[in-house]
């Protein structure tokens, strides 16, 4: 498992593993405001998510854990999240719970005492021996504020030895939500949540969803790099453009679930993408691969990448006349090329 996680890190950071289609965000643009009637210093990126104040609506998305290299990456990400007042997700802790890898590689709370921190387990593991008690241990072991259960059906069926029994998971998620003393969030891993699935999860009692649309890292392509046989690689190759693009998933889920907190992720490249997602209805926006690449380099590289991203967001807000995150509503965005009667 440790070897697999190191392989995932190397492949995700260095290989061409992006989805074969885009996020869909390029179809949208922020409405420019030539007369914003404020100073750039007036822009506030502060927001709240699950009752916690954040200095900016950015989630450092779940990436890794379990190996010495992963431990250093998590520490760098945690230090950056603490400095900048961001939220952070951890990589899947399943094997650490089973004792096959050190939980210490996920334990960053001492470095990030104020960060909104998400523990992480695969939802399918509820069918493979991990019940509510294991979920509670995952949260407590890292001092997390909430638990993310990730959905990765395509990855599981492509990777060797994957767990492919997804039967009855919705009921088990609902039972966990009813019992857990912490919020439960359900996230996709890069192929997008549909409106129908989001409605089911909302009814099950989840506190939020991370729709993780396609257009960013494709885990079927990541796993394809690890497959030994030509037959298996051919199977995986058919799914390189699988999924619901981030923009489409966001609009569909927001329409279906008007009050459900939504994290938008999947191919988010910069602060303008973040602003677009917020205007399309997201409450928080997750970023992974650009931050992983920076974190593999140094603390300084990671700080620079985050500071550039947040400055881009502030400028985008200023230039469309949005003083606060709440001002980034649907009136601030338009479809490129559409006739708006202007």
DSSP letter for each residue of 53-96 = EESSSEEE-----SSHHHHHHHHHHHHHHHHHT-EEEPPP-HHH
Antiparallel, parallel or unpaired: β 333-335 and 28-30: antiparallel
pLDDT in tens, 268-284: 999 999 999 999 999 99
Rounded Cα distance between 63 and 91, Å, is 5
pLDDT, tens only, 188-197: 999 999 999 9
pLDDT for the residue numbered 294: 95
Tokens of 69: 């290299």
Give the angle subtended at the CA of 69 by the CAs of 63 and 72, to the nearest 5°. Answer: 80
Interior angle at CA 217, CA 156 and CA 298, nearest 5: 115
With bands split at pLDDT 50, 70 and 90, how would you rate the model's confidence at 216? confident
What are the distances in angstroms from CA 175 to CA 118, 181, 199, 268? 19, 12, 16, 32
Looking at 36-40, 61-65, 272-276, 278-282, which range is the least confident one? 61-65
Angstrom distances, CA of residue 62 to CA of 91, 122, 216? 5, 12, 14
Closest CA to 62 of 147, 136, 143, 120: 120
CB of 314 closer than 8 Å to CB of 45: yes
Q: What is the pLDDT of residue 339?
A: 62
Per-residue pLDDT, averaged over 71-95, amounts to 96
pLDDT of res. 63? 83
CB hemisphere CA count around 333 (13 angstroms)? 24
- DSSP state letter for 34: S
Q: Encode burial over 158-180: b for 16+ CB neighbours within 10 A, e otherwise.
A: bbeeebeebeebbebbbebbeeb
Q: Which CATH architecture has domain 2-335?
A: Alpha-Beta Barrel (3.20)
Global pTM value: 0.92
CA distance 223 to 221: 5
pLDDT at 342: 45
Tens of pLDDT along 21-32? 899 999 999 999
3-state SS class at 228 = coil
- At residue 239, the pLDDT reads 87
Mean pLDDT rounded to a whole number for the chain: 92
| Structural tokens at position 256 | 């279906």
> Residues of the chain with pLDDT > 90: what percent?
77
H or E segment and range at residue 185: strand 184-188
pLDDT tens per residue, range 135-177: 999 999 999 999 999 999 998 998 888 899 999 999 999 999 9
Rounded to whole angstroms, the Cα distance separating 4 from 161 reads 12
Listed in sequence order, the DSSP H helices in the chain are: 2-14, 68-84, 94-97, 132-142, 153-158, 169-179, 195-204, 219-224, 230-237, 246-256, 271-279, 289-295, 299-319
- pLDDT bucket at 18, cuts 50 / 70 / 90: low
Phi, psi of 265 (to 5 degrees): -150, 170
């Amino acid at each position: 498992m440790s070897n697999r996680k190191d392989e995932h890190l190397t492949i995700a950071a260095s290989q061409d593993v992006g989805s074969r289609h885009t996020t869909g965000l390029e179809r949208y643009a922020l409405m420019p405001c030539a007369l914003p009637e404020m100073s750039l210093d007036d822009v506030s990126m502060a927001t709240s998510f699950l009752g916690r104040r954040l200095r900016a609506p950015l989630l450092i998305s779940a990436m890794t854990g379990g190996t010495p290299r992963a431990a250093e990456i998590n520490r760098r990400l945690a230090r950056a999240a603490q400095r900048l007042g961001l939220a952070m997700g951890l990589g899947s802790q399943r094997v650490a719970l089973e004792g096959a890898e050190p939980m210490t590689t996920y334990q960053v709370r001492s470095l990030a005492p104020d960060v909104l921190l998400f523990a992480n387990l695969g939802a399918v593991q509820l069918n493979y021996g991990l019940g509510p008690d294991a979920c509670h241990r995952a949260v407590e072991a890292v001092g997390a504020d909430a638990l993310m259960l990730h959905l990765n059906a395509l990855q599981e069926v492509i990777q060797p030895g994957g767990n492919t029994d997804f039967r009855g998971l919705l009921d088990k998620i609902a039972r966990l939500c009813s019992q857990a003393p912490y919020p439960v969030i359900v996230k996709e891993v890069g192929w997008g949540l549909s409106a129908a699935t989001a409605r089911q999860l909302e009814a099950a009692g989840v506190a939020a969803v991370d729709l993780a649309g396609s257009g960013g890292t494709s885990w079927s392509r990541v796993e394809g790099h690890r497959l030994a046989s030509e037959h298996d690689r051919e199977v995986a190759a058919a799914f390189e453009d699988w999924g619901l693009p981030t923009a489409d998933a966001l609009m569909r889920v927001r329409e279906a679930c008007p009050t459900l907190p939504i994290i938008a992720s999947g191919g988010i490249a910069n602060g303008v993408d973040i602003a677009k997602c917020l205007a399309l209805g997201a409450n928080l926006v997750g970023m992974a691969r650009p931050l992983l690449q920076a974190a593999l380099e140094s603390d300084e590289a990671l700080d620079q990448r985050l500071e550039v991203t947040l400055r881009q967001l502030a400028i985008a807000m200023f230039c469309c006349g949005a003083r606060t995150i709440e001002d980034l509503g649907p009136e601030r965005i338009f479809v490129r090329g559409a006739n708006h009667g202007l």
